[in-house]
Amino acid sequence: MQQPNLYAMADAVTPAPRRRRRSRLVPVLAAILVLVLALLLSYALWTVYENTLTTAALDEGPPITATTSGASALSTTAARALKAYGGEAVWKDAVTVESTVTVGGLLFQLKGVNIPAHAKITVDVQRPHTVIDPVDEAGDTGVLDGFSVMILSRSGAILEQRADARDHLQNASVSTHWDRLNLVYFLGYAFWGYYSLPHQLLRTDIAWTELGDGLLQADFGPNLPVHSRIQRFWFDRKTGLLRRNDYTPVAASRDTKAAHVIFEHGISSGIPYPSKRRVKMSLGQYGWVLPFPDFITIDVERWQLH
């Protein structure tokens, strides 16, 4: 006797709507898979582009015998950079940099605090002193002076202050929220470092080592408020302009390897200045960067050296 086909019987009793749902699900899953693969491929290609054809690329000359220089004996790269940014005489006599900036990025979303757009930031070139006006929507002003910070009202009254902001950081993790004084400390020392860089090449308390043509490594020592004591700076070997600065932003996240990439320069009174800055996370220390997301975005709308 012929045995009944159990599979055929089971299929026969399967409701037609269920079979139709299964048949529709297959192309949907296939489309999702294709989309995911396309996104991964696009991100991979974007990463290659960012790290080979933009200023994020680690373009440097062949390694040389590392030499540490000071203001009395500038290395080839340091001398070229100073010349590109207006010359040694200009930065020896520089007093302040005034600017208008808009700051954004993932970091400030995670920290839950940021300064308003188009804020005025003024730094003292010769010493770590920064004024951020305003620091919040209420119109208060943030001031960094060395490792100390304060917040002033519109009338100039001290609303908050912290004697040693470096020792009071709220950064157990990158998502740990900041208070206003943490924000003032981070942005205050960061902008002082960014804006006073050409003058820093002349300071005797910073040890500059030329690792290769276009590549400098700085040891800032323990007495300056900076992202991290050891940092690397890549300068364009033709123009002398800064391309990238790598560091560990311990004030924001103790383990993150950051690459501060300069995408555009502006000109003010004949002096170039980085106008479009993007801080990205690096795959490894001094390595390729992730094109997205931007950890910090800085768009400098006005910059003036005095």
Question: What pLDDT score was predicted for residue 3?
Answer: 58
Residue 12: which pLDDT band, with cuts at 50, 70 and 90? low
Convert the pLDDT of each residue in 183-204 to its tens digit.
999 999 999 999 999 999 999 9
Which superfamily does 63-305 belong to? Lipoprotein localisation LolA/LolB/LppX (2.50.20.10)
Do 240 and 215 meet the contact criterion of CB atoms below 8 Å apart?
Answer: no
Show me where the domains of the chain are located.
6-53, 63-305
What CA–CA distance (Å, rounded) separates 281 from 262? 14
pLDDT over 90, % of the chain? 65
C-alpha to C-alpha distances, 252 to 22, 122, 167, 172, 177, nearest whole angstrom: 49, 22, 13, 9, 10
What's the pLDDT tens digit per position in 288-298? Answer: 989 889 999 99
Nearest Cα to Cα of residue 271 among 119, 88, 123: 88
Convert the pLDDT of each residue in 108-130 to its tens digit. Answer: 999 999 999 999 999 999 999 99
At residue 22 the predicted structure's pLDDT band, cuts being 50, 70 and 90, is low
